[in-house]
Structure 1
C-alpha cells in the first residue's frame, strides 16, 4: 500500500512540476489555448482564461493520464523499438549520469546495507567477471555499452582494448568524450550499431560482454547468434540481463497478471517480450555452446531500485525529469513497477556465461 501511495505521489509531483513550469512560461493573456476551447465546447477566444489553480489541476491530470495511457498501450514493432530505445537513452542518459555517474546498471549489494551505490556498480562488474572465471582479456566488445562505464573499467582492469556499441548517438559520443577525459581513448571506442547485426568480423573478441542490454533484444536467438559469431574460439560470453521467472513444470506461460505488469514496463523502457534464463540456456545449448553456467542474482541487487527511487525524489532529479521529457518521466514511473516485479519474484536478475 505504501509503495502504491508513493508511486501516485511521485507521478503527481512529476506532472505538477511540468504543469507549473509550463504555466510559468505562458504569457498572461486572456486568449485561451485551442485545447481548452475545445474542452469547453468551443468557447469564444475572448473568454476568461482559466485560473492558475485550474490550469495546474488540468496540467497534473493530463500529465498523469498521458503517463498512464502510454504505459497501457500495445506492444511495439521491432523498428519502433529500435527508434524508441535510441531516443529514450538520448534523452535520459545525461540525467542518469548527473545523478548516478557513468555506470548505467545495477549494483552489487553484499552486504545489503551498503550505501556507496557507485562503488556497488563497479563491484558488480568485478564480481560478474570473477563469477564467470575471467581473469584476463585482450579484446572486449561491450554490447549495449551505455556511456561506456563497463568498457572503460574492463579496459583499465585488464589493460586491454574494448569497443562498445549502442543505439544511442548521445551515448556513443559521451562514451568517447569520457574515454578521452580518462586517458583511455587509445584503448576504448564507442559507436552506434545494432547488436543484432554488429559491424565486426567473425572471431574478433575473447570477451563478449552484455550487461543489462539483452532485455532490449526483440530476437533473442539472433542476439545469441551475433554474440557467438564475434566471439573468438575459446573466448568467453557473459550475459547479465533482466528475465522473467522460469516457468514451473505444469506451466506453459506466465499468468495474465504477470504479463500485464511486464507489458507496462515494456512500454516505459522500450522492451520486447521477456524470456526466462532457461530460455537463454536452451538457445545456447542448441548452438552447441560449452561450459554453460547460470545464476540468479536477484537477491544481490535487491536494494538497487529502492536507492534509484529515493534518488529520483530530490529536487535536482525531479527538475531534471521535467527537462528530460515525457519518455524519461514515464521511465521514472516504471521504476516502481520494476520494484514490484522483483518483490513478487516475477523479475529475475539473470547471469549466463559460456
Structure 2
C-alpha cells in the first residue's frame, strides 16, 4: 500500500478520517515542528517581528504559532492552511484565547495566496515547504506578498549529514506525504534564486529527547489539554479500527531508521530580506 494515497477507514468512529499524514493531523487537531517554541522564537527574532509588524504564517496547522505571535508581540497575524479542518481548529483556538481582533485564519494554498502584492512585513513557514513540490514557484509567491524591506523565514527539516541512507529517505518520503528535505545549501539556494538579500542560515542538530522537550515547551496549559485529547483519539483509533492498526504497523520505523534519523536529519532556520528596489 502506498501511504502517500488517502485510504478511508471503513470502521472508523469518524467516517471522515482518512489514513494520510495530513488528514490524521487534522482529525487529531494537533501539529508540531522541529525545535518547538525555541525554534519559533529564534525565527521570529531573525525576521525582526515587533508589535507594528503584519505577519503571515503559511501552513499554520492548528493555529499555535499565529496565536503565540499575537500574544507575545501584540501584532496583527494571518494564518493560512490548505486544510479546512486545520483552519477550523485554529478558529476554535483563537476564539478560546480571545485574540480574534489580532489573528485571522483563512483556507489557502501556499502556491496561490489570496493577498495583494507587498502586504506583509514577514512571511513565516514552519515545516511547510518540504511538502511542496514546486519550491521555486512557492518562493516567488512568498516574495510577491512580502513588503520591500520585509523578511521571509523558514524552519525546515534539513539533512545535516549526507548522503542520508536510502531506507531513511524512503521511510520519510513514504510516511510524510512525499516530503522532500533539502540540505542547507539547497534551502539557501531557493532564497538566492528569488532575489532575497541578507540571507541568514542556522542549522541545528536534534535528539529524540530534545525534540520532545521542545514540543512540550511550546504548549500552554490549554494546549496541553488539546495534546492529551489528540493522544486519546490516537489510542481510540488504535483500539477500535483495524485499518488504523494496520496503517500504524506499516509506518512504524525500523531500528535502522530510528538509529539514523537524528544522526542525519536536523532542522534549519533560513531567513532572507526582500531588498527595497
Range of TM-score over shorter length: 0.7 to 0.9
Q: Does 1:105 align with 2:33?
A: yes
Aligned position for 2:184: 277
Report if aligned partners of 1:175, 1:189 keep a CA contact under 8 Å in 2.
no
1:307-346 alignment to 2 at 5 Å? 316=232, 319-322=235-238, 326=244, 329=248, 333=252, 339-345=258-264
Q: Does 1:215 align with 2:134?
A: no
Aligned position for 1:234: 149
1:272 deviates by 3.9
Q: Does 1:157 align with 2:66?
A: no
Q: Does 1:91 align with 2:24?
A: yes
Q: Does 1:287 align with 2:194?
A: yes
Structure-2 separation of matches of 1:165 and 1:303:
28
1:119-158 alignment to 2 at 5 Å? 121-158=36-73
From the two aligned structures, give the one with the greater helix fraction: 1
**How big is each residue's C-alpha offset from its partner over 1:182-215, in whole Å with a ceiling of 9 and x where there is no partner?**
1111211222211111111111100100011111
Structure 2 unpaired stretches of 5+? 6-17, 216-226, 273-277
- With 209-218 and 329-338 compared, the bigger mean Cα shift is at 329-338
Q: Does 1:350 align with 2:265?
A: no
Tell me the secondary structure at the aligned position of residue 348 of structure 1: strand
* Number of aligned residue pairs: 245
State which of 109, 114, 127 in structure 2 corresponds to 1:199: 114
> Could you say what the CA RMSD is over the residues aligned between the two structures, in angstroms?
3.5
Q: Does 1:183 align with 2:98?
A: yes
**Compared with structure 1, are the counterparts of its residues 134 and 339 closer, same or farther at alpha carbon in structure 2 (3 Å cutoff)?**
farther
1:86 deviates by 11
**Compared with structure 1, are the counterparts of its residues 328 and 263 closer, same or farther at alpha carbon in structure 2 (3 Å cutoff)?**
same
Larger Rg belongs to: 1
Report if aligned partners of 2:58, 2:123 keep a CA contact under 8 Å in 1.
yes
Structure-1 separation of matches of 2:200 and 2:65:
21
Structure 1 unpaired stretches of 5+? 1-68, 77-84, 98-102, 108-120, 248-253
State which of 139, 151, 154 in structure 2 corresponds to 1:224: 139
Tell me the secondary structure at the aligned position of residue 197 of structure 1: coil
**Compared with structure 1, are the counterparts of its residues 205 and 300 closer, same or farther at alpha carbon in structure 2 (3 Å cutoff)?**
farther
Highest RCO, 1 vs 2 (Cα 8 Å, sep ≥ 6): 2
Aligned position for 2:275: none
